[in-house]
């Protein structure tokens, strides 16, 4: 109303500016109109309506803050951290479904929202949220696809290594050890490998279901790995059967090596009792030095014990072979008994070194 200038008498021309104490002053109808009660009520109602309308608009816009996590965090690092938790396939699928539901829900949403006399344009907001949700889904899917591909490559290389070791010609004891240990590895890990392959296949099914782009060759490779592993497993069973006559021959050689190791172990026990850390008396510094040197020898002999134990199990035949599947590893091995014999004579620190 203060901008509603008065007119000059008997004209429709606005009154000229009047200077009052070096300030410009306009004659308006404000002084007259403001005294009318109805006008005052209308002004007050208008201000209240505007304030209420702005509040409703802000309240509605705040309801969209439930999507703020989509743009508040760095996508790559969050997705990598999520996958580093070794989440299950069900959790992965739930995460993809979450982003897909956001996209589907907003694509069906009206592009505007009317609040009394105001129409809120939602197109830019919806487009931005959908883009963020799709980017989250694609980022998670791309990282998962790349990691799965690396797992397949490692599994393929592992299969190639097993195949090469399995197909070696047995001409000496070292070759026999390699082949038998490979057969044992294949038989003991077949369930784990099959589950891993099925998990990889299911991951690609999830990625395909949620429209995550990945090389089709990777999915084909996942199913080829399953066939390749079955062939390796059947080859291991066949090779194990063919090596049965050879086991008796190498069992004799192994027993000789075990006897040699037992003799060396007996000499070591005698040396430990007569020259070991327990013979230094009060010279603790000398005892510490001997503990280090004897600890290295014990560690070396322990590795020999484990290796001979594996070979003894691989070359076991008859009842001995069946026990190898039911008893604890190396529990029934001669070399285990020899090594266990010396442990009561060792000091507490020496046992820790072992």
C-alpha 65/C-alpha 70 separation (Å) is: 10
User: Is there a domain that residue 300 lies in?
Assistant: no
User: Is there a domain that residue 88 lies in?
Assistant: yes
- Classify the C-alpha dihedral 230-236-239-241 as positive or negative: negative
User: Is there a domain that residue 111 lies in?
Assistant: yes
User: What was the pLDDT predicted at 116?
Assistant: 85
User: Is there a domain that residue 138 lies in?
Assistant: yes
pLDDT band for 326, please (50, 70, 90 cuts).
very low
Residue 205 in contact with residue 214, Cβ under 8 Å? no
b/e map of 69-80 (b: 16 or more CB within 10 Å)?
ebeeeebeeebe
Alpha helices in the chain (DSSP H): 30-33, 37-62, 69-72, 75-83, 89-107, 123-166, 173-209, 216-242, 244-275, 284-314, 319-323, 334-342, 348-353
Higher pLDDT, 321 or 227: 227
User: Is there a domain that residue 310 lies in?
Assistant: no
User: Is there a domain that residue 106 lies in?
Assistant: yes
pLDDT in tens, 150-209: 999 999 999 999 999 998 887 777 787 888 889 889 999 999 999 999 999 999 999 999
Q: Which DSSP helix (H) or strand (E) runs through 120?
A: strand 118-121
pLDDT band for 313, please (50, 70, 90 cuts).
low
| pTM attached to this predicted model | 0.64
| Domain count within the chain | 1
Residue 214 in contact with residue 207, Cβ under 8 Å? yes
User: What was the pLDDT predicted at 248?
Assistant: 66
User: Is there a domain that residue 210 lies in?
Assistant: no
The candidate with the shortest Cα–Cα distance to 229, out of 267, 200, 255, 258, is 200
Alpha carbons within 13 angstroms on the beta-carbon side of residue 72 total: 5
pLDDT in tens, 14-32: 888 777 777 777 778 777 7
Rounded to 5°, the CA angle 313-316-317 comes to 150
User: Is there a domain that residue 233 lies in?
Assistant: no
User: What was the pLDDT predicted at 222?
Assistant: 93
Range of the domain at 115: 66-146
């Amino acid at each position: 109303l203060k901008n509603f200038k008065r007119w000059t008498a008997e004209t429709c021309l606005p009154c000229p500016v009047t200077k009052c104490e070096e300030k410009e002053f306009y004659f308006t109808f404000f002084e007259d109109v403001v005294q009318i009660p109805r006008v005052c009520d209308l002004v007050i109602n208008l201000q209240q309506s505007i304030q209420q309308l702005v509040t409703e608009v802000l309240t509605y816009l705040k309801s969209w803050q439930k999507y703020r996590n989509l743009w508040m965090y760095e996508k790559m690092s969050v997705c990598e951290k999520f996958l580093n938790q070794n989440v299950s396939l069900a959790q992965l699928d739930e995460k993809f479904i979450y982003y897909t539901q956001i996209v589907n829900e907003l694509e069906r949403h009206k592009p505007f929202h009317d609040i009394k006399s105001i129409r809120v344009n939602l197109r830019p907001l919806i487009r931005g949220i959908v883009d963020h949700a799709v980017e989250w889904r694609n980022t998670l899917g791309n990282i998962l696809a790349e990691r799965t591909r690396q797992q397949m490559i490692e599994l393929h290389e592992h299969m190639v290594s097993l195949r090469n070791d399995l197909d070696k010609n047995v001409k000496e004891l070292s070759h026999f050890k390699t082949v038998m240990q490979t057969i044992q590895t294949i038989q003991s890990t077949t369930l784990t490998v099959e589950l891993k392959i099925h998990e990889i296949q299911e991951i690609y099914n999830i990625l395909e279901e949620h429209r995550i782009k990945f090389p089709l060759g990777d999915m084909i490779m996942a199913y080829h790995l399953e066939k390749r592993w079955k062939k390796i497993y059947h080859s291991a069973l066949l090779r194990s059967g063919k090596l049965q006559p050879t086991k008796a021959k190498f069992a004799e050689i192994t027993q000789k090596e075990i006897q040699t190791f037992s003799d060396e172990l007996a000499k070591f026990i005698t040396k430990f009792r007569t020259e070991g850390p327990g013979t230094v008396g009060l010279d603790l510094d000398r005892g510490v030095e001997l503990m280090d040197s004897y600890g290295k020898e014990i560690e070396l002999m322990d590795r020999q014990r484990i290796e001979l134990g594996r070979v003894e199990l691989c070359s076991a035949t008859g009842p001995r072979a069946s026990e190898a599947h039911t008893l604890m590893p190396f529990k029934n091995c001669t070399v285990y008994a020899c090594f266990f014999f010396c442990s009561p004579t060792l000091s507490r620190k020496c046992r820790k070194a072992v």
